[in-house]
A = this chain, B = another copy of it.
Amino acid sequence: MTKIEVRRATQLRALIAAAERTIAEQGLAGLKARDLAAEIGVSLGGLYNIVGDLDEAILHVGARTLTRLDQSLAEAATGEDRPIERLVATALAYCRFADANLTLWRALFEHRMGPGVALPEWHAATQLDLFAHIAAPLRELLPGAKPERRALLSRTLFSAVHGVIALGLEEKLVAVPRGKLEAQVELLVRAVCAGLAAKFGGEAGN
């Protein structure tokens, strides 16, 4: 690795860190090319030697956020045996992560790619990794259900929990108030699991 390549890597790391700080403090809309360049001690034009455009910077930050989220969820579920408890612990960890990283987490969902521009697959892969945290316990919980069915259920369960947390943290009028959030998330997961177990239980097929 040449001297220049080393500097590049250092600059990219600094850029991502700075962008993350800014997004955490001011949200996606607060990220400006000029500020970002100034913050990492590069001229405005130099920014575009490090990343192709601001979108790329945002994607890098998003990837970091997803990775950190993944770690949080992984930690949360260790030490739990029963699948339902694992699912509850995962949901609560998601809740706490979103709360502690509110704007970064929001940015994950606010950010829409321009039309026709697909998101890079390394990013997509990280997103899908998250499902392991739900899919695995669900497999234990519903051994009788078909895999594709369980995949759908994973998505539904994730989306439902996500919805409660997202509206709650936005403090929308129709949302669960912040103080009751964790309790309601737990209640939701338990209720869904109970309902699903009753329906798909140990039985085969369907």
Contacts and interface: CB of A to CB of B under 8 A. Distances in A.
A166 interface: yes
Contacts of A167: 159, 162-163
Contacts of A124: 173
A164 B158 CA distance: 8
Contacts of A102: none
Interface in A127-180: 127-128, 130-131, 152-153, 155-156, 158-164, 166-168, 170, 172-176, 180
A193 interface: yes
Q: Which of A124, A152, A170, A176 has the most CB of B within 10 A?
A: A176
How many copies are assembled?
Answer: 2
A196 interface: yes
A84 to B, nearest CB: 11
A38 interface: no
A199 B188 CA distance: 12
Given A168-B159, A174-B130, A188 B180 contact: no
Contact of A152 (B173, B184, B195): B184
A15 B155 CA distance: 40
Interface of A: 109, 124, 127-128, 130-131, 152-153, 155-156, 158-164, 166-168, 170, 172-176, 180, 184, 187-188, 190-196, 198-199
